[in-house]
Amino acid sequence: MKRPAVTKYVVPAIAESFGFVEWLQSGVRHTPLSPAVHQDPYPQYHRLREKDPVHWSPLLVGWVLTRYEDIDNVLRDWKRFENSNEAVGRFEPEFQPFLEDPLPMLFSNPPDHTRLRSLVAQAFTPRSIEAIKPRIREIVNDLLDQIDISKPVNIIDTFAYPLPVIVIAEMLGIPSEDRVKFREWSSSIARILEPTTTTKFFYEAAKSGEELRLYFKDLIAKRRESPGDDLMSVMIAAEEGGDSLTEEELLVTMRLLLVAGNETTTNLIANGLLALLEDSEAFERLRKDRNLLGPAVDELLRFDSPVQIDRRTALEDVVIGGKTIKKGQPLLLLLGAANRDPEQFANPNYLNFDRDETSHIAFGRGIHHCLGAPLARVEAMIAFEVLLDRYEEIELQGKRPKFKDHVVLRGMYEMLVCLEAK
């Protein structure tokens, strides 16, 4: 039996009663729906990690983990912790056709996961990423050419958002005239990752998913007749060459690539830029030494992770931190908390481009480590490099931007900046 979704319309009195019981049991509360936590979740992460690092949440009906070591171990152990697809199964039965699609590799395990991932991985090899760097730079410059810097600019809407959409669209061979629809579908479908998704938005996501499915089916048919050098053609060729990838798996994989490569990279660029603008010393150091771009992007990923939460389900009884997680119970892994764990990162609340410590887990870990991580890094590196090349000054306009009321994907509604050309 599936549990009802936790939405932003939860009755406050009920939420408070859950919170009171939670506080009595552990001396700390996890309140992911709080506006204050949306704006800055890290103080609460710190309290959870200090007081109750393996924390039972009555509101979320799951275990909340905040320590780097615990989360790292769970992510690596796919045999005992399954990457559950329950998030898209909360609303039944009206979404059954949407849910009957084959599971994308994000929610599959070996051997299916190995087969799907190995097929798509060829598009994200170091050689493949190196080959598209010049085109990414062109897209970055084209987007910035269109910005009117005589007034404050919403750098998310004009730059951070369209950049990854255009890149992944071109990789999949999507005609340029279809990018607007592509972007709308992606934004709508991404909503289902949030536990706060309402039935209304899930209907919209299901509708977008079906429209995208029909669009891809038509495009696949065209690619069969006239293959190109895009990723879609490569996957079709592999299927026809005897691989067991079905057309349904092909459709689901392309949908995953669209959504996974869109909002997360947008948030990496936007959240990262905000962190730099709020730390003038770090920003100035990056301006003077472009060799720091690689380490800086990884540090920005650690500092304010675009994906804050991952989820697993225990496949057997497991003891973590002295607590027994029962078979079938969900674990909510706070990646943002792990990346600020002082046991792993000295002075974790400050940017430090010279870290030689354990790597962050903003891209996950284990078999489900983000396949597009190399592409996201390169997009962000080029984005920051060109911004620094073109503008003498980049300043935040007005108050600190407001973050979305999301739990999983951390990003802002808008970010206004003032740009001064060199």
Q: Classify residue 28 as exposed, middle or buried by CB count within 10 Å of its CB (0-12, 13-18, 19+).
A: middle
Instruction: Quote the pLDDT of residue 85.
Output: 54
Q: pLDDT (tens digit, 9 = 90+) per residue, 240-255?
A: 555 656 788 888 888 8
| CB of 390 closer than 8 Å to CB of 144 | yes
SS3 388: helix
Q: pLDDT (tens digit, 9 = 90+) per residue, 116-171?
A: 787 777 777 888 899 999 999 999 999 999 999 999 999 999 999 999 999 998 98
Of 21 and 83, the structure prediction assigns the larger pLDDT to 83
Q: Which amino acid, one-letter code, is at 363?
A: F
Instruction: Quote the pLDDT of residue 78.
Output: 93
Q: pLDDT (tens digit, 9 = 90+) per residue, 327-376?
A: 999 999 999 999 999 999 999 999 999 998 779 999 999 998 888 899 99
pLDDT at position 5 over 90: no
Can you name the residues that pair with 312 across neighbouring β-strands? 331
What CA–CA distance (Å, rounded) separates 53 from 265?
Answer: 29
Instruction: Quote the pLDDT of residue 113.
Output: 78
Does 93 sit behind a cis peptide bond, omega within 30 degrees of 0 on the bond before it? yes
Q: pLDDT (tens digit, 9 = 90+) per residue, 272-324?
A: 999 999 999 999 999 999 999 999 999 999 999 999 999 999 999 999 999 99
Cα 306 to Cα 176, 228, 269, 309: the distances in Å are 27, 33, 9, 9
Which tokens is 165 given?
């959409």
β 391-396/416-421 pair status: antiparallel
pLDDT at position 12 over 60: no
Percentage, residues of the chain above pLDDT 90: 55
SS3 205: helix
Count CB-CB contacts under 10 A for residue 290: 14
Q: pLDDT (tens digit, 9 = 90+) per residue, 176-200?
A: 888 888 878 888 877 777 776 677 7
pLDDT at position 326 over 70: yes
What CA–CA distance (Å, rounded) separates 407 from 60?
Answer: 12
215 alpha-carbon distance from chain centroid: 24
- Provide DSSP, 242-302: T----HHHHHHHHHHHHHHTTHHHHHHHHHHHHHHHT-HHHHHHHHH-GGGHHHHHHHHHH
Q: Average of pLDDT values for 31-50?
A: 94
Q: pLDDT (tens digit, 9 = 90+) per residue, 140-151?
A: 999 999 999 999
Query: String of b and e for 4-21 (b: at least 16 CB within 10 Å)?
Result: ebbbeebeeeebeebbee
What CA–CA distance (Å, rounded) separates 125 from 220?
Answer: 23
The predicted model scores a pTM of 0.89
Instruction: Quote the pLDDT of residue 267.
Output: 95
pLDDT at position 395 over 90: yes
Give me the residue label for tokens 């001396």.
Answer: 27
What CA–CA distance (Å, rounded) separates 364 from 351?
Answer: 20
Q: For residue 319, what is the enclosing H or E element? A: strand 318-320
CA atoms within 13 A on the CB side of 315: 10
CB within 8 Å of 108: residues ≥ 6 apart: 83, 116
Instruction: Quote the pLDDT of residue 97.
Output: 40
CA dihedral in degrees (194, 120, 83, 339; nearest 10)?
-70
